[in-house]
Amino acid sequence: MQEINASIGFDKRLWQQDIAGSKAHARMLAAQAIISEAERDAILAGLDSIAEEIASGSFSFSTTSEDIHLNIEAALAERIGEAGRRLHTARSRNDQVALDLRLWVRDVLDELDAQLLALLRALLNQAERYAASPMPGFTHLQIAQPITFGHHLLAYVEMLGRDRARFADCRARLNECPLGAAALAGTSFPIDRHTTASALGFARPMANSLDAVSSRDFALEFLATAAICATHLSRFAEEIVIWASAPFHFVRLSDAFTTGSSIMPQKRNPDAAELVRAKTGRINGNLVALLTVMKGLPLAYAKDMQEDKEPVFDTADTLALCLAATEGMVRDLEANEAAMRRWAAEGFATATDLADWLVRTLGLPFRDAHHITGRIVALAEAKGCGLADLSLDELRSVEPRVTADIYSVLSVEASIASRTSYGGTAPDNVRAQIAAWRERLG
C-alpha cells in the first residue's frame, strides 16, 4: 500500500511551488486573524529553512509522508511546533496539489516560451541567409515547384509561432487560483481568496470549489499543446534526416549533432534529428495517458489524479530537450546550395510556370493550358531533356502559338522570382516576412 500510495518519488519536484503556496496562505491567514502574526512569522521562517535544505540537497524526503505536501508539513511541525500544524487551516491537500501543479505548469510554460523564441530566431537567421537559395518544393515527396530554402524554413517559423501562441493561451486559461477551495466545498473560515490569488500571480481565484480541486484540463491542454509542438519538431527532424542523406545531400550537420557508426567510419548519422522525431511518440503517449485517467472520474477529487504529474513532468522535460536539440541543429546546419539548385530544376519543376504563361499570354483556360503543358512535358521526357532545353519548333509542335518569350519563365530563378503573391516564395517576399517576424518577436 505504501508503494502504490506514495508519490514523493516524483512530486518532490513541486517543492518550490508548494512552499510558495504555503507562504501566501500563511500571510493571508494572519491578515484575516485566523492565525497570529507570530505564528505566521514562525511558519515563514520555517518554510525558508526547509527551502534552503531542499535546494542544497540536504533535506531528507520520506515515503512515510507520502507526498511533497506532507513531507514539508511534517518537517515544518517538527521545527516550529504548534504553529506549523496551524498552517493547514482552511485548506486541503486537494486544493494544495491543484495549486502546486498549476504553478509548476505555468513556470514551465514560461521556460518553453523562451526556448521557442530562441528557436524562432535561429530559424529566421538561417532563412535570411538562404532567402534566395533555390531548392525543390515537394508534394507527395515528389518534386513539384522551385522554392527557396529560406521560404521553406519560414514555414516552420509560422508553425512554431502558432505553438508559442497556443502555449500563451494555455497559460492564460490556467492562471486561476484553486487555493481556498479546500477539500471540495470551500471553507467556513473567513479567508480572502483574492489576496492569495494575487500574491501568487494569478488573475483571479477559481469560481467553483468543485471545479478547482477536480479539473485537470489545464494539464491536458498543456499536454495537447506540447504534442502539437512536438509534431512540428518531428516533421522538421524528418526533413533534416532526408536532407542529410546521401541521395539528397541538401544539408550538412557537424559532428556536434551527428554520430558515427560502430563499424562504418564514413557514416555521419543524424541521431539528434532521429531522436527528436522519436520522442514525439512519447509526448503523444503522455497526452493519451492523462486523457484516459481523467475520462471517467466523477467530481470531485479522486486518487487517480495522482497520475497526472508524471505525464506532465515527462512531457515538459522531453519537449525542452527536443527544442534545445532542434535549435542546435538549426544553428549548426549548412545548406548545400549547389545540390538544392540542381534538384530544383529536376522533375520538370517549372511546368506550372509554363501553364501559367499559356494562360497569361495566349489567353487559354487553365485546364486547356494544363493539358498542353502535359504534352510538352511528355515530349521533354521522351527526349531526355528539361523544358528549357526544348527548341522553339519543338514547343510549337505542341502549341503553334508559343513564342520565344516562353523561355523567360522556364528557369528555376524566374519561377521563384515570379511567386510574388502574399505568402509566396519570391526572395523579396521571404525577406519581408523575416522582417515582419523579427518586429513581432522584438
pLDDT tens for residues 219-240?
999 999 999 999 999 999 999 9
pLDDT mean across residues, the chain: 95
C-alpha cell at 78: 517538527
pLDDT (tens digit per residue) in 53-104: 999 999 999 988 899 999 999 999 999 999 999 999 999 999 999 999 999 9
Q: Is 371 a catalytic residue?
A: no
pLDDT score, position 263 = 60
One of 60, 140, 262, 421 is an active-site residue; which one? Answer: 140
Confidence of residue 19 (pLDDT cuts 50, 70, 90): very high
pLDDT score, position 261 = 63
Q: How many CB atoms lie within 10 A of CB 355?
A: 23
Q: Is 261 a catalytic residue?
A: yes
Confidence of residue 262 (pLDDT cuts 50, 70, 90): low
pLDDT score, position 264 = 63
267-286 in b/e form (b: 16+ CB < 10 A) is ebebebbeebbebbeebbeb
Residue 382, CA atoms < 13 Å, CB-side half-sphere: 7
C-alpha cell at 72: 514539508
pLDDT score, position 269 = 87
Contacts of 314 (CB under 8 A, 6+ apart): 282, 286
Asked whether the beta carbons of 179 and 99 are under 8 A apart, the reply is: yes
Name which of 209, 166, 187 is nearest 88 in CA terms.
Answer: 187
pLDDT score, position 53 = 96
pLDDT score, position 312 = 98
Cα–Cα distance measured from residue 260 to residue 255, given in angstroms and rounded to the nearest whole number: 8
Strands 134-139 and 142-148: antiparallel
pLDDT score, position 48 = 98
Of 108-117, 118-127, 289-298, 395-404, minimum mean pLDDT range: 395-404
Query: Is the model's pLDDT at 266 over the cut of 70?
Result: no
Separation of first and last alpha carbons in the chain: 53
C-alpha cell at 290: 492523462
Asked whether the beta carbons of 415 and 425 are under 8 A apart, the reply is: no
Query: Is the model's pLDDT at 265 over the cut of 60?
Result: no
Cα–Cα distance measured from residue 6 to residue 321, given in angstroms and rounded to the nearest whole number: 28
Q: How many CB atoms lie within 10 A of CB 165?
A: 12
3-state secondary structure of 46: helix
pTM for this model (two decimals): 0.93
One of 62, 254, 261, 408 is an active-site residue; which one? Answer: 261
pLDDT (tens digit per residue) in 321-343: 999 999 999 999 999 999 999 99
